[in-house]
């Protein structure tokens, strides 16, 4: 789980004035909207006694801890301690980590890390979203997998004939043509032509059993946790972006945005949601049984073949950021800190304000130090 990236935390429709809890990168966050409808994301951990702010309420745009009523502004500073009898100054240490947030593509995004703005990786671009010919549709899927396996599965071309034989995979034509990874600054894409399964059922009868032409399919990733699938069908384009939010090492919430240029009437939405969920359901067992649950850092730990080029690209890109010290050390957190000490993902304020250096009560999540 990498810090210092933008993460889609939840669907826009889930963020309300009433605070909610979102678990991301193994840490608890509180998300709510202020009176200007702007989404706020902060550490869900009151520095007083570790209360969960997400169980509190919002008052004058501040989130109020349910335990002793401390009030925190959206920048994380505490503005009220109700137990103070008179006007005593609020301690500098009464502050939370608050994360930069944006609302885009129907998701609430937060930058989970402490890099200053100029050094932050950009938020990914979902270009079709701005194009009115596409109809957007959102959903989510929760599964007990590590997000790295979910990402690799989301762009794995060779598994379709086996895992998805019941939907779009063709068991009789499992070969994958050679492809070159199209490299992007923050990701990569692989384009191949796939042979769809022979038409069956009513569609088969309508087409008189005619073969369907090969379908141009692009699978790719955007760092750190997004997959993009584009399928160019004869009737139009179908694009699926999935933001695989790492909840914990063993659990992922895949927030998805589907864009389709055909059947744009909302009458088709239900069927479309069903098709996306069916694909996740087909993947669920296979991906959750993979070992190790986390994609290995060591490239030689699994055997690759030519059709895995896009996944190797992802592994190398991920390793680059692990080598930069951005990987949260979840094993250490579980072994050393579990239930003994609460931790937080550091926010930009920790580095922006050196005079606050000693003002942070909660310790930062440890990261993995690699040899390179």
Residues that bind ligand FES (CB under 6 A): 46, 48-49, 51, 65, 67-70
Which residue lies nearer to ligand FES by CB, 36 or 49?
49
Phi and psi, residue 9, nearest 5° = -90, -35
Name the strand (E) or helix (H) holding 135: strand 135-143
Which of the listed partners (ligand FES, Fe ion, none) does 68 bind, with a CB threshold of 5 to 8 Å by partner kind? ligand FES
Which residue lies nearer to ligand FES by CB, 68 or 304?
68
Which residue lies nearer to ligand FES by CB, 83 or 200?
83
Residue 346: which residues within 8 A CB-CB, separation 6 or more? 3, 97, 113, 114, 364, 365
Min dist CB 45 to ligand FES, Å, is 9
DSSP for 76-114, please give it.
SBEEE-TT-SS-PPPPTT-B--EE-EEEETTEEEEEES-
Min dist CB 67 to ligand FES, Å, is 4
Of residues 278-297, those binding Fe ion (CB under 5 A): 283
The CA dihedral of 278, 284, 287, 288, to the nearest 10 degrees, is 170
Cα angle value 147/151/153 (rounded, 5°): 115
Which residue lies nearer to ligand FES by CB, 69 or 136?
69
Report whether 249 contacts 330 (CB < 8 A): yes
* Residue whose structure tokens are 């694009």: 239
Report whether 246 contacts 26 (CB < 8 A): yes
Which residue lies nearer to ligand FES by CB, 2 or 65?
65
Min dist CB 64 to ligand FES, Å, is 9
Min dist CB 81 to ligand FES, Å, is 8
Report whether 362 contacts 49 (CB < 8 A): no
Which of the listed partners (Fe ion, ligand FES, none) does 283 bind, with a CB threshold of 5 to 8 Å by partner kind? Fe ion
Which of the listed partners (ligand FES, Fe ion, none) does 67 bind, with a CB threshold of 5 to 8 Å by partner kind? ligand FES
Min dist CB 286 to Fe ion, Å, is 8
Q: Crossing angle of helices 147-154/309-323, nearest 10°?
A: 150
Which residue lies nearer to Fe ion by CB, 135 or 278?
278
Which of the listed partners (ligand FES, Fe ion, none) does 36 bind, with a CB threshold of 5 to 8 Å by partner kind? none
Which residue lies nearer to Fe ion by CB, 2 or 163?
163
Which of the listed partners (ligand FES, Fe ion, none) does 350 bind, with a CB threshold of 5 to 8 Å by partner kind? none
Which tokens sit at 31?
A: 């998300």
Min dist CB 357 to ligand FES, Å, is 23
Of 255, 226, 218, 257, the residue nearest 240 (C-alpha): 257
Min dist CB 308 to Fe ion, Å, is 14
Of residues 226-265, those binding Fe ion (CB under 5 A): none
Min dist CB 350 to Fe ion, Å, is 39
Strand partners, 219: 190, 229
Which residue lies nearer to Fe ion by CB, 281 or 352?
281
For residue 273, the SS3 value is helix
**Residue 44 binds Fe ion (CB under 5 A):** no
Q: How far apart are CA 94 and CA 76, in angstroms?
A: 9
Strand partners, 218: 191, 230
- Site size toward Fe ion, by CB under 5 A: 1
Residues in the site for Fe ion, rule: CB under 5 A? 283
């Amino acid at each position: 789980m990498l810090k210092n990236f933008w993460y889609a935390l939840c669907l826009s429709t889930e963020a309300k004035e009433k605070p909610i809890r979102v678990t991301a990168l193994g840490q608890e966050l509180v998300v709510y909207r202020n009176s200007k409808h702007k989404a706020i994301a902060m550490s869900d951990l009151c520095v007083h006694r570790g209360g969960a702010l997400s169980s509190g309420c919002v008052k004058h745009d501040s989130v109020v801890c349910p335990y002793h009523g401390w009030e925190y502004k959206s920048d994380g500073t505490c503005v009220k301690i109700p137990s103070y009898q008179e006007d005593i100054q609020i301690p500098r240490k009464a502050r939370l980590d608050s994360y930069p947030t944006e609302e885009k593509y129907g998701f609430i995004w937060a930058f989970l890390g402490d890099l200053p703005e100029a050094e932050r990786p950009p938020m990914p671009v979902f270009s079709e979203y701005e194009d009115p010919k596409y109809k957007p549709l959102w959903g989510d899927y929760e599964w007990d997998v590590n997000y790295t396996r979910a990402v690799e599965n989301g762009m794995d071309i060779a598994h379709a004939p086996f895992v998805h034989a019941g939907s779009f995979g063709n068991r009789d034509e499992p070969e994958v043509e050679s492809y070159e990874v199209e490299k992007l600054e923050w990701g990569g894409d692989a384009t191949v032509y796939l042979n769809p399964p022979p038409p069956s059922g009513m569609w088969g009868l309508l087409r008189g059993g005619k073969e369907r032409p090969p379908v141009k399919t692009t699978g790719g990733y955007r760092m750190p946790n997004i997959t993009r699938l584009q399928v160019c069908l004869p009737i139009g384009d179908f694009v699926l972006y999935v933001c695989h939010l790492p909840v914990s090492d063993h659990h992922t919430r895949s927030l998805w945005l589907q864009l389709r240029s055909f059947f744009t009437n909302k009458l088709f939405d239900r069927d479309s949601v069903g098709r996306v969920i069916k694909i996740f359901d087909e993947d669920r067992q296979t991906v959750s049984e993979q070992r190790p649950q986390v994609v290995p850092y060591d490239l030689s730990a699994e055997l690759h073949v030519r059709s895995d080029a896009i996944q190797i690209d992802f592994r190398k890109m991920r390793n680059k950021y692990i080598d930069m010290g951005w990987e949260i050390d979840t094993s250490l957190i579980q072994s050393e800190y579990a239930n003994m000490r609460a931790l937080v993902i550091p926010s930009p304020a920790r580095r922006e304000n050196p005079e606050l250096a000693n003002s942070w009560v909660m310790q930062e999540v440890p990261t993995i130090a690699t040899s390179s």
